[in-house]
């Protein structure tokens, strides 16, 4: 089992407080019940999505459509628009102040004062004091307040989304500068712009990695004939530093978005900055520390340093007084600045990180991120083990947890297991076709190990364990996945290596090998989704577990699978859909757990965008719902047409949103959803639905 404690190291702007409430939703619920905290009147209102500079705004109390006007919690004004808010309880009014304006807005008053001048609110819709989920919130008109503070406000009626952006600008040019130490993509604009960017790891499914840059409230206005390749499209050929090209286009007109896609041969880290004098936004390609966490892996504590690209380790130094390991990562930035985090982990006391002044040690102009792992005095330096896995650096404090065992997966249908021995190897291999267990017998005289379980669970190996309890020999017991063949190729390696190759020809020859399914685990990061009342289970955690289980089931059938998120991070609603579109996926499944104010409500349902665009979403939803009912035996809540859901509306392939049960069903589905066995059943149900759909 793996224990994880995440230590956030990147600067996160929390737009609104996220207070656990089992009624809290982001976008599945079309309406919610509110109570006027002044009059006690109850009324049902529609929920509204809010995007600020292209980023979703997440709140414990959602924005609502109140009599045709969008109201948001007043904290949106303070935390998103940079204003200060004070509250006068006696007068029941809020005062919003910036360097240039003072706005006084009262509860249930149709007029406000702006710098002493009285103004009437649009349609006379006032600020309201509304109670939701047991908490009262001051809700203010978003358009009036945002526009008074200098922002542009838009409305996307199809998805019931309010957009708030800096004033509109035009994108007038793109260029690339590869002459500097860190290459730069330069975006020219008529004024300051905001960017919403993310890495699309297309290499995971046979495509290229891409940096996707969305610029909200920006018009495509590039006129250079050397770049233009069509109406509202430009392309810049680069072919330097692992970067192939940059493509720019008018991606959308409502909301107004210019998109730039950077095609890459390899994943690159980056930072951004805007130069007001030149009107240029720079994307500088340099590695960055994205996250540092401590996990227990194979019974050993490990520090995991996640970076934007493969880390270049400049130096690793063991130091005394106090005992610590210093790790310098060159050509790298630490966005959050200096951090120091106390850690409750065996052998590790604290982790410190900083951007190191590297001129004296590495020369002028070098960017070095320094990580210091403070150790218990009992830890021996010789037991520290370092390993780079893709873009991550693993630091183990109790030696190599696998003791010379290396399982390397080259692709979805081929992998090798290498066992390094202390002496020239002798071993034997036996296989039981009934149990699908391969046993590798290795003398203890050439390999010293402790018993351990290796939770691999992929398309080739279901389980692997090392039994070192018997006299004279270590026994590797490897349960192969169905249709997997093995071959002992030890003769191709060194004399101190045992090498076993595994191949799944069923996957290699699968009729689904060219079918790509995008799985979307709902919520994540700053957005917990629903929270169960008894156990505090967060929807974001439950559905990520189900999505990861479903991914493994699909990969074993030969499908290509891409997860919009594979950790506790938040991905924007429009980004989730665009990931699937950019990858040209064949199907999209968003996975959620439901919630209701009445704790007796239970069941499963599938939401879909009505079939007005030829995607056949309704039949897809019916197949998925039938599979869930068959496998789970849940209350059948049917399939539900929901035209305003972003993730199912904005996708270009068949798409559904599956609600796998109610976290608020006390004594029923809440109990089930907390168990790994039921989550496995949920994954099996969705898997069966996809198999039925693609048969």
Point out the least confidently predicted range of 283-297, 586-600, 626-640: 283-297
CA distance 596 to 305: 39
Q: Can you give the CATH number for the domain in which 148 is found?
A: 3.30.457.10
Tens-place pLDDT, residues 550-564: 999 999 999 999 999
User: Which of these, 394, 372, 221, lies nearest to 307 by C-alpha position?
Assistant: 394
Chosen domain end from 265, 284, 303: 284
Task: Evaluate whether residue 666 is within a structural domain.
Answer: yes
pLDDT band at 19 (very low <50, low <70, confident <90, very high): very low
CA distance 33 to 15: 23
The per-residue pLDDT for 402 is 77
Helices (H), 284-395: 359-362
Regarding whether 649 and 533 lie in a shared domain, the answer is: yes
CA distance 212 to 198: 6
pLDDT band at 23 (very low <50, low <70, confident <90, very high): very low
DSSP letters of 96-149?
EE-SS-EEEEEBT-SEEEETTEEEEPGGG--BEEEEETTEEEEEEEHHHHHHHT
Point out the least confidently predicted range of 72-86, 314-328, 589-603: 72-86
Tens-place pLDDT, residues 191-237: 999 999 999 999 989 899 999 999 999 999 999 999 999 889 999 99
Question: DSSP character for 168?
Answer: P
Catalytic residues: 659
CB-based contact 269:284 (threshold 8 Å): no
Regarding whether 111 and 177 lie in a shared domain, the answer is: no
Question: Average pLDDT in the 607-629 region?
Answer: 94
CB-based contact 132:61 (threshold 8 Å): yes
Question: Average pLDDT in the 522-538 region?
Answer: 96
Residue 541 has pLDDT above 80, yes or no: yes
- Cα 424 to Cα 157, 441, 497, distances in angstroms: 71, 15, 8
User: Residue 392: is it exposed, middle or buried by C-beta count within 10 angstroms (0-12/13-18/19+)?
Assistant: middle
255: cis peptide before it, omega within 30°? yes
pLDDT band at 26 (very low <50, low <70, confident <90, very high): very low
Chosen domain end from 342, 371, 396: 396
DSSP letters of 517-577?
EEEEE--BTTB---B-TTT--BHHHHHHHHHHHHHHHHHHTT-EEEES-SSS----HHHHH
322: cis peptide before it, omega within 30°? yes
Regarding whether 686 and 556 lie in a shared domain, the answer is: yes
CA distance 675 to 390: 31
Residue 667 has pLDDT above 90, yes or no: yes
User: Which of these, 87, 104, 11, 21, lies nearest to 58 by C-alpha position?
Assistant: 21
- The 10 Å Cβ neighbour count of residue 124 is 11
Structure tokens at 509: 């020859």
Structure tokens at 548: 């990861």
| Structural domain containing residue 560 | 516-693
The per-residue pLDDT for 28 is 64
Regarding whether 593 and 547 lie in a shared domain, the answer is: yes
Q: Can you give the CATH number for the domain in which 455 is found?
A: 2.60.40.3500
Regarding whether 526 and 500 lie in a shared domain, the answer is: no
3-state class (DSSP) for residue 166 = coil
User: Which of these, 659, 656, 581, lies nearest to 611 by C-alpha position?
Assistant: 656
Number of domains in the chain: 5
Task: Evaluate whether residue 685 is within a structural domain.
Answer: yes
Regarding whether 523 and 459 lie in a shared domain, the answer is: no
Kindly tell me the number of DSSP H helices and DSSP E strands found in the chain: 10, 51
The per-residue pLDDT for 369 is 94
The per-residue pLDDT for 9 is 31
CB-based contact 457:466 (threshold 8 Å): no
The per-residue pLDDT for 3 is 35
Q: 407-434: b or e for each residue (b if 16 or more CB lie within 10 Å)? A: beeeebbbbbbbbbbeeebebebeeeee
Backbone angles phi, psi at 162, to 5 degrees: -90, 135
Only one residue has tokens 């190191």, namely 356
Residue 528 has pLDDT above 80, yes or no: yes
Task: Evaluate whether residue 390 is within a structural domain.
Answer: yes
Task: Evaluate whether residue 26 is within a structural domain.
Answer: no
Question: Average pLDDT in the 583-593 region?
Answer: 98
Name the average pLDDT for the chain: 91
Backbone angles phi, psi at 563, to 5 degrees: -100, 130
Structure-model confidence comparison of residues 301 and 1, the more confident one: 301
Task: Evaluate whether residue 42 is within a structural domain.
Answer: yes
CB-based contact 690:683 (threshold 8 Å): no
CA distance 89 to 106: 10
Tens-place pLDDT, residues 47-63: 999 999 999 998 888 89
Regarding whether 612 and 466 lie in a shared domain, the answer is: no
Q: What is the spatial order of strands in the sheet that 428-432 belongs to? A: 428-432, 437-443, 473-480, 461-467, 452-454
Q: Can you give the CATH number for the domain in which 576 is found?
A: 3.40.630.40
The per-residue pLDDT for 77 is 82
Structure tokens at 305: 């340093």
pLDDT band at 6 (very low <50, low <70, confident <90, very high): very low
Regarding whether 613 and 560 lie in a shared domain, the answer is: yes
Regarding whether 673 and 560 lie in a shared domain, the answer is: yes
Residue 100 has pLDDT above 80, yes or no: yes
Regarding whether 667 and 556 lie in a shared domain, the answer is: yes
Structure tokens at 55: 């980023």
Chosen domain end from 508, 525, 554: 508
Point out the least confidently predicted range of 130-134, 374-378, 591-595: 130-134
Tens-place pLDDT, residues 341-352: 777 778 899 999
Regarding whether 292 and 232 lie in a shared domain, the answer is: no
* Cβ contacts of 378 within 8 Å, gap of 6 or more: 347
Task: Evaluate whether residue 9 is within a structural domain.
Answer: no
Structure tokens at 282: 């720079």
Regarding whether 544 and 681 lie in a shared domain, the answer is: yes
The per-residue pLDDT for 21 is 35
Task: Evaluate whether residue 13 is within a structural domain.
Answer: no
Task: Evaluate whether residue 521 is within a structural domain.
Answer: yes
Residue 18 has pLDDT above 70, yes or no: no
């Amino acid at each position: 089992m793996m224990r994880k404690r995440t230590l956030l190291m990147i600067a996160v702007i929390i737009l609104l407080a996220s207070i656990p409430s089992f009624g809290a939703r982001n976008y599945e619920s079309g309406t919610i019940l509110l109570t006027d905290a002044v009059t006690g009147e109850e009324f049902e209102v529609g929920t509204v999505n809010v995007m600020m500079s292209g980023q979703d705004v997440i709140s414990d109390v959602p924005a609502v459509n109140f009599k045709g006007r969008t109201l948001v919690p007043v904290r949106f004004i303070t935390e998103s628009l940079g204003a200060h808010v004070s509250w006068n309880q006696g007068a029941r009014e809020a005062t919003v102040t910036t360097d240039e304006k003072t706005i006084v807005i009262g509860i249930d008053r149709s007029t406000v004062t702006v710098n002493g001048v009285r103004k009437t609110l649009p349609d006379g819709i006032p600020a309201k004091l509304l109670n939701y989920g047991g908490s009262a919130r001051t809700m203010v008109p978003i358009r009036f307040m945002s526009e008074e503070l200098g922002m542009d406000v838009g409305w996307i009626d199809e998805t019931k989304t309010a957009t708030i952006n800096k004033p509109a600008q035009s994108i007038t040019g793109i260029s690339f500068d590869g002459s500097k130490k860190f290459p730069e993509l330069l975006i020219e604009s008529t004024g300051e712009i905001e960017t919403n960017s993310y890495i699309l790891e297309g290499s995971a499914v046979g495509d290229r990695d891409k940096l996707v840059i969305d610029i909200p409230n920006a018009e495509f206005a590039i006129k250079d004939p050397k770049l233009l390749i069509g109406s509202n499209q430009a392309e810049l050929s680069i072919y330097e530093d692992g970067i192939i090209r940059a493509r720019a286009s008018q991606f959308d007109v409502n909301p107004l978005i210019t998109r730039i896609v950077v095609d890459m041969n390899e994943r690159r880290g980056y930072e951004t900055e805007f130069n007001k004098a030149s009107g240029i936004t720079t994307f500088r390609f340099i590695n960055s520390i994205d996250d540092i966490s401590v996990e227990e892996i194979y019974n050993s504590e490990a520090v995991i340093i996640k970076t934007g690209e493969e880390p270049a380790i400049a130096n690793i130094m063991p130091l005394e007084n106090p005992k610590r390991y210093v790790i310098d990562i060159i050509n790298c930035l630490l966005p959050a600045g200096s951090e120091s985090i106390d850690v409750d982990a065996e052998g590790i006391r604290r982790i410190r990180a900083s951007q190191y002044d590297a001129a004296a040690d590495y020369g002028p102009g070098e960017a070095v991120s320094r990580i210091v792992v403070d150790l218990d005095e009992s830890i021996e330096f010789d037991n520290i083990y370092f390993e780079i896995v893709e873009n991550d650096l693993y630091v183990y404090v109790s030696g190599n947890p696998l003791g010379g065992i290396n399982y390397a997966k080259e692709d979805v249908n081929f992998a090798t297991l290498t066992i390094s021995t202390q002496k020239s190897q002798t071993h034997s291999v036996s296989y039981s076709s009934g149990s699908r267990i391969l046993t590798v017998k290795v003398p203890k005289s050439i390999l010293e190990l402790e018993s351990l379980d290796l939770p691999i669970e992929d398309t080739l190996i279901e389980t692997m364990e090392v039994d070192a309890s018997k006299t004279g020999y270590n026994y590797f017991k490897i349960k192969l996945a169905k249709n997997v063949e093995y071959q002992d190729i030890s003769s191709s390696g060194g004399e101190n290596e045992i090498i076993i190759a595994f191949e799944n020809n069923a996957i290699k020859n699968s009729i689904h090998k060219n079918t790509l399914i995008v799985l979307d685990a709902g919520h994540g990061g700053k957005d917990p989704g629903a929270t169960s009342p008894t156990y505090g289970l967060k929807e974001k955690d439950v559905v990520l577990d189900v999505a990861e289980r479903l991914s493994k089931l699909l990969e074993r059938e030969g499908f290509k699978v891409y997860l919009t998120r594979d950790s506790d991070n938040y991905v924007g609603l429009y980004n989730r859909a665009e990931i699937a579109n950019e990858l040209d996926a064949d199907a999209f499944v968003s996975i959620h757990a439901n919630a209701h104010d009445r704790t007796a409500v239970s069941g499963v349902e599938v939401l879909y965008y009505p079939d007005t665009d030829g995607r056949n979403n309704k039949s897809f939803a019916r197949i998925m719902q039938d599979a869930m009912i068959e496998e789970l035996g849940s209350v059948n809540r049917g399939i539900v047409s929901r035209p305003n859901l972003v993730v199912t509306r904005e996708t270009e392939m068949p798409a559904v949103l599956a609600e796998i049960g109610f976290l608020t069903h006390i004594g029923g589905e809440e109990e089930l959803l907390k168990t790994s066995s039921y989550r496995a059943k949920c994954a099996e149900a969705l898997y069966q639905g996809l198999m039925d759909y693609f048969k």
